[in-house]
Amino acid sequence: MVSMNNTKNHGRGQAGFTLLELMVVIFIIALAAAIVLPRLPEPESTRLKSSARNLASGLRFLNDQAIITKKVYRLHLHLGENTTRITELSPSGEELQPGDQFMGRRLIEEGIDIEDVNLPTLGVVTEGEVIVPFGPGGVADGVTIHLKGGEKHYTVTANPSGGKVTVQDGYQEVSS
């Protein structure tokens, strides 16, 4: 006859993991984390890239709206506050808030700086407010906007001919 105590003791000895097995699993997890974590994008660089893309889509949209509606719009870039605002110019010259919801959204995320704006008529502006006009023909002079987040830069350029807007990684100099 087999005793119950013998069966219980035999089962207890095989349950669980050995210290060596646990150390191997922890080592594998640590190794995977060491490989993956440095490749994940930093939150600041993600916000910078998102802001550059939002600004570019805003410039394209403004350009298209100005051409389609034959109205004059203005993009106000506040360099000290790092904010943007879009207005529509009435026939009497008064600046109005556009009715389109897209034009009221935030183009540049919190913590991202507008480092400078380059317009052919003004040159490079590093402080204050810059107004970029969009007339019935689209953006007349072209504009280059440099965004900065931490140590990274993105360059957003709107060209007057055809209204093409480009986003480039880094601080790109503009040829006049």
How far apart (Å, rounded) are the C-alpha atoms in residues 131 and 138? 14
Predicted local distance difference test score (pLDDT) of residue 175: 66
From 4-18, 87-101, 113-127, the region with the lowest mean pLDDT: 4-18
Q: What is the pLDDT of residue 54?
A: 92
CA angle 163, 168, 174 (to 5 degrees): 70
Q: Are 174 and 144 contacting, i.e. CB atoms less than 8 angstroms apart?
A: yes
Burial code of 15-26, b = ≥16 C-beta within 10 A, e = fewer?
Answer: eeeeeeeeeeee
pLDDT the model gives residue 31: 93
Structural fold of domain 43-169: minor pseudopilin epsh fold (3.55.40)
Over the stretch 116-174, which tens digit does the pLDDT of each residue have?
Answer: 999 988 899 999 999 999 998 888 888 999 999 988 999 999 998 777 999 999 999 87
pLDDT at residue 14, rounded to an integer? 67
**All structural domains of the chain with their residue ranges:** 43-169
pLDDT digit string (tens) for 10-66?
555 567 889 999 999 999 999 998 888 777 766 778 889 999 999 999 999 889 988
How far is C-alpha 37 from the geometric centre of its chain's CA atoms?
Answer: 21
Which pLDDT belongs to residue 102? 72
Q: CA-CA-CA-CA torsion for 162, 47, 110, 57, nearest 10 degrees?
A: 20
